[in-house]
């Protein structure tokens, strides 16, 4: 099966094995592979399903291109300057009355990682709205594994039973148990890749995923849209239907804060951590610092980021903040200042963390284990730092009610 993907690359890197004891690495332009197709086609280190021999140079060119663009993770989303550029989510259907996917209790299932901030948003809103009995849940293991080692080198999210044997990182280092994991009881898949592949998709196998059990397909994998659906679409079945995290009159303010919080803080930490050039890192960390200063000033004047009401924008922000001192300061090199050095941000975090429906969704074990064990190029030996006891700090009294 040919691999497909939502992005485009200009060159396909082809690793060819000739009839010699040594290996020869060639770079073949995807648009000019005619020279290589006959000579190297059947010997290339392409995924097994994509290997030749090929009957035409066009077939070879297409397969090489698709192989290079196929199964991938966020680590591959870097531009020519070494800057991290997150790709848009692929599945964008909406649950609504009268639509293809109407709201129904028990019909939909949420696949998440407790470590992923984007997935964490969805988990929080599901918890706050009281949708635990309405929308099912599966939770992946925090440490990425090879998802189809006999085919390619893609590493990503896998499912494990909480009683299963611990996993090591892909270099064989460390031992990380499966506490808090929930296997895929709906489709019985072993990885998020297998779930995506089950509907014929190959590309980036991300979480969260909102799955329709009736149609056996992915409804949506964009967290910003899933949280909005959870906030309003299932009110007929929710335990807390009166809770509205998108209250009337806050939409304009939410759009304004999201316009700078997302690119410079939510995604900004990734732009720092996944940068592959000094220029890209310097730009990202400068923008991050400026936005944290701006946030500190904003929270000195009002209780929440849009005013006096808790909104989805606060949830979107919190999931990044709660990971900042334990992970991003160390791992993503956002070390110009820890959040515990910002009094208003710290007290704001405390208030949100101490909401019971939010607190029960935070797993620092999954958060730290994932980041420090899943990217061997950043942490070869999978050493997990001790950290700064963020959750203990967030459990201390806050001053936000006085505002």
Kind plus residue range of the DSSP H or E element containing 9: none
Catalytically annotated residues:
116, 270
Q: Report how far residue 323's alpha carbon sits from residue 367's, in angstroms, rounded to the nearest whole number.
A: 7
Kind plus residue range of the DSSP H or E element containing 288: helix 278-299
Map residue 57 onto helix, strand or coil: helix
CA distances from 207 to 89, 192, 261, 263 (A): 10, 8, 21, 19
CA distances from 399 to 179, 296, 348, 351 (A): 34, 14, 8, 8
Main-chain phi, psi angles of 220, to 5 degrees: -160, 140
Which residues neighbour 369 within 8 Å (Cβ) at sequence distance 6 or greater?
A: 115, 142, 143, 176, 384
> Which CB contacts under 8 angstroms, 24+ apart, belong to 375-382?
375/75, 375/144, 376/169, 376/170, 376/171, 377/75, 378/273, 378/331, 379/331, 380/171, 380/173, 381/171, 381/173, 381/174, 382/143, 382/168, 382/169, 382/171, 382/173, 382/174, 382/176
Q: How many residues does the chain have?
A: 403
Angle at 32 between CA 30 and CA 36, to 5 degrees: 90
**Contact in structure between 30 and 11 (CB atoms under 8 Å):** yes
Strand partners for 41: none
């Amino acid at each position: 099966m040919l691999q497909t993907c939502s992005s485009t690359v200009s060159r396909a890197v082809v690793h060819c094995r000739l009839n010699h004891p040594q290996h020869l690495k060639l770079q073949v332009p995807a648009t000019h592979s005619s020279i290589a197709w006959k000579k190297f086609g059947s010997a290339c280190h392409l995924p097994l399903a994509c290997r030749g021999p090929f009957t035409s140079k066009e077939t070879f060119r297409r397969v090489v291109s698709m192989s290079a663009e196929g199964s991938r993770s966020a680590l591959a989303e870097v531009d020519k300057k070494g800057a991290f550029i997150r790709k848009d989510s692929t599945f964008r259907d909406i649950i609504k009355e009268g639509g293809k996917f109407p709201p129904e209790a028990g019909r939909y299932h949420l696949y998440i990682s407790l470590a992923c901030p984007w997935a964490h948003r969805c988990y929080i809103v599901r918890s706050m709205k009281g949708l635990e009995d309405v929308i099912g849940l599966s939770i992946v293991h925090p440490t990425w594994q090879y998802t189809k080692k006999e085919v390619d080198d893609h590493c990503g999210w896998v499912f494990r039973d909480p009683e299963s044997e611990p996993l090591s990182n892909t270099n064989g280092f460390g031992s990380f148990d499966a506490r808090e994991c929930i296997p895929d009881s709906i489709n019985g898949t072993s990885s998020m890749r297998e779930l995506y592949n089950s509907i014929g998709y190959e590309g980036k196998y991300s979480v969260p995923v909102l799955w329709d059990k009736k149609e056996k397909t992915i409804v949506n994998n964009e967290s910003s849209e899933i949280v909005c659906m959870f906030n309003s679409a299932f009110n007929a079945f929710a335990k807390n239907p009166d809770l509205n995290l998108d209250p009337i009159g806050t939409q304009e303010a939410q759009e304004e804060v999201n316009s700078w919080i997302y690119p410079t803080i939510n995604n900004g930490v990734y732009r720092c951590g996944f940068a592959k050039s000094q220029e890209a890192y310097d730009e990202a960390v400068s923008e991050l610092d400026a936005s944290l200063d701006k946030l500190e000033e904003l929270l000195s004047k009002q209780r929440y980021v849009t005013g006096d009401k808790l909104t989805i924008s606060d949830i979107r922000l919190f999931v990044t903040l709660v990971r900042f001192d334990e992970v991003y300061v160390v791992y993503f090199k956002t070390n110009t200042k820890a959040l515990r050095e910002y009094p208003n941000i710290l007290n704001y975090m405390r208030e949100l963390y101490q909401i019971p429906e939010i607190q029960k969704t935070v797993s620092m074990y999954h958060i730290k284990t994932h980041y420090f064990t899943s990217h061997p190029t950043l942490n070869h030996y999978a050493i997990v730092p001790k950290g700064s006891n963020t959750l203990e700090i967030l459990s201390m009294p806050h001053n936000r009610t006085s505002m």
